[in-house]
Structure 1
Amino acid sequence: MTEETWASEVEAPLAVKKEADRSPADSMEAGATARSSYTPSTSGLKAGYADDNRQFNYFIKFLENYGDQVDHLPLDIAERIILKAVDRDGRSLANCQITVSASGRVLCRGKTHADGSFNFYPSEYEDTTKNTIEEFTASFTYNQHTQEIFIDRRGKRELEVNFPFARSEQKSIPLDILFILDTTGSMGEEISRLKATIEIIKLNLTSLSSKPDVRFGMVLYKDIDDEYRTHVIPLTGSLPGFQKDLDLVWASGGGDTPEDLQAALYAAMTHQDWNRNGIRLSFIITDAPPHLDYEQEYTYIEAAKAARREGIKIYSVGAGGLDLMGEYILRQISQYTGAKYIFLTYGEEGESEGGKPGSVSHHTGANYQTDKLEAIIIRFAREELAHLTDQPVDQEEDYFQAQKIDDEEREDTLKKLFEMALSQLVDYSSFNLPPGIRAAVLPITAMNKEPAPTAEYFTEQLILSLDSSESLREIFRQVERKDLQSILAELELQLSGLAEESQAARVGAILGAEVLIIGKLYLKDGLYELFLKLLRVENGEILSVTKAILDRKLGL
Structure 2
Amino acid sequence: MQQQAKRFQLKRERKQKRAAKLKAGLLLATALITLMTGCSSGNNNQSNNSADANSSNTAAADDAGNAATSDNSGKSSSESTTNDSGSSSNSNSSKSDSSSDSASDSKSDSTASPDKPAADDTGSKDAHDDSSNSQYDSSQPGQLTAGEWDDLGEWKKWKKLLQGNEGADNESYWSMFPENRLEVIVTGGGKPVPDADVSIVDEDGETVWEARTNMDGEAYAFAGLFDEQGTRDTYGVVVESGNSEKRYENVPIPRDSALKIELNETAKIPTALDLMLVVDTTGSMEDELNYLKTELKDVVERVGQDNGQQLDIRVSANFYRDKNDLYVVRDFPFTGDIDEVVKQLGQQKAAGGGDFPEAVDQALENAINEHKWSNDARARLLFLVMDAPPHHDRKVTKHMHELIEAAAAEGIRIIPVASSGVDVGTEYLMRFIAAATGGTYLFLTDHSGIGNGHLKPAVGEFEVKALNELLVDVINRYTS
Normalising by the residue count of structure 2, what TM-score does the alignment of the two structures yield? 0.65
The answer for the alignment partner of 2:321 in structure 1 is: 222
Q: Does 1:138 align with 2:230?
A: no
Distance change in 2, residues 1:191/1:216 (3 Å) = farther
Question: In the TM superposition, what whole-angstrom CA distance separates every residue of 1:157-188 from its partner, at most 9, and x where no partner exists?
Answer: 30111112223244xx2111111111011213
Q: Which residue of 1 aligns with 2:210?
A: 109
Match of 2:151 among 52, 56, 62: 52
- 1:118 aligned to 2:224? no
Specify the alignment match of 2:447 in structure 1.
347
The CA deviation at 1:100 is 1.7
Tell me the alpha carbon deviations over residues 116-144 of structure 1, each in whole angstroms, 9 at most, x when there is no partner.
22212235498xxx884222211111112
1:101 and 1:220 map into 2 onto residues whose CA distance is: 36
Structure 2: how far apart are the matches of 1:297 and 1:66? Answer: 19
Aligned partner of 2:463 among 337, 349, 369: 369
Superposition pairs for residues 324-343 of structure 1, below 5 Å? 324-343=424-443
1:85 aligned onto 2:186: yes
Separation of aligned partners in 2, 1:198 and 1:318: 14
Counterpart position of 1:202: 300
- Which has more helix, going by share of residues? 2
CA distance in 1, matches of 2:153, 2:431: 13
CA distance in 1, matches of 2:402, 2:80: 25
Residues 487-506 of structure 1 deviation map (CA, whole Å, 9 limit, x = unaligned)? xxxxxxxxxxxxxxxxxxxx
- Structure 1's 294 and 146: CA in aligned 2 closer, same or farther, altered over 3 A? closer
Amino acid at match of 1:196: T
Alignment of 1:69-468 (within 5 A): 69=169, 72-89=173-190, 91-106=191-206, 107-124=208-225, 132-150=231-249, 151-153=251-253, 155-170=255-270, 173-206=271-304, 207-208=306-307, 211-278=310-377, 279-293=379-393, 295-296=395-396, 299-347=399-447, 368-386=462-480
- The equivalent residue for 1:30 is 77
1:541 alignment partner in structure 2: none
Q: For the residues of structure 2 that align with 1:125 and 1:296, how far apart are their CA atoms?
A: 14
Query: Which secondary structure state, in structure 1, belongs to the residue aligned with residue 284 of structure 2?
Result: helix
Instruction: Report the Cα distance in structure 2 between the residues aligned to 1:261 and 1:198, rounded to whole angstroms.
Output: 19
Q: Equivalent residues in 2 for 1:496-507 (5 A)?
A: none
CA distance in 1, matches of 2:238, 2:386: 37
Cα distance in 2 for partners of 1:76, 1:196 equals: 37
8 Å contact from structure 1 (residues 285, 316) kept in 2? yes
Q: Call closer, same or farther: CA 1:249–1:137 in 2, change over 3 Å.
A: same
Structure that is richer in strand per residue: 1
Aligned length: 346
SS of 1:299 mapped into structure 2:
helix
Query: SS of the counterpart of 2:266?
Result: coil
CA distance in 1, matches of 2:434, 2:160: 16
In structure 2, the CA distance between the partners of 1:348 and 1:131, relative to structure 1 (3 Å rule), is: closer
SS in structure 2 at match of 1:220: strand
Pick closer, same or farther for the CA change 1:313–1:22 going to 2, 3 Å.
farther
State how far apart, in whole Å, the 1-side matches of 2:376 and 2:403 are: 20
**Uncovered stretches (5+) of structure 1, i.e. residues with no partner:** 1-19, 350-363, 387-556
Cα contact 2:177–2:224 (8 A) shared by 1: yes
2:214 match: secondary structure: coil
SS at match of 1:95: coil
> Residue 160 of structure 1: SS of its match in structure 2?
strand
- Shift of residue 381 of structure 1? 0.7
Between the two proteins, what is the percent identity of the paired residues? Answer: 23
Larger deviation, residues 230-239 vs 151-160:
151-160
1:188-240, Cα deviation, whole Å (9 max, x unpaired): 34432243234432343232486222222123111112111122111211112
Give deviations 1:240-277, integer Å, cap 9, x for gaps: 22122222210011221111111111111111111111
Which secondary structure does the structure 1 equivalent of 2:396 belong to? coil
Conservation of the 8 A alpha-carbon contact between 1:85 and 1:93: yes
CA contact (8 A) 1:51 1:367 kept: no
Instruction: Tell me the SS of whatever aligns to 2:215.
Output: coil
Q: Which amino acid aligns with 2:275?
A: I
- CA distance 1:132–1:169, shift in 2 (3 Å): closer
User: Is the CA contact (8 Å cut-off) linking 2:295 and 2:467 kept in structure 1?
Assistant: no
CA RMSD of aligned residues (A): 3.2
- Measured in 2, the distance between the counterparts of 1:212 and 1:33 equals 43
CA contact (8 A) 1:125 1:133 kept: no
Query: Structure 1's 122 and 199: CA in aligned 2 closer, same or farther, altered over 3 A?
Result: closer
Change (3 A) 1:371 1:254: same
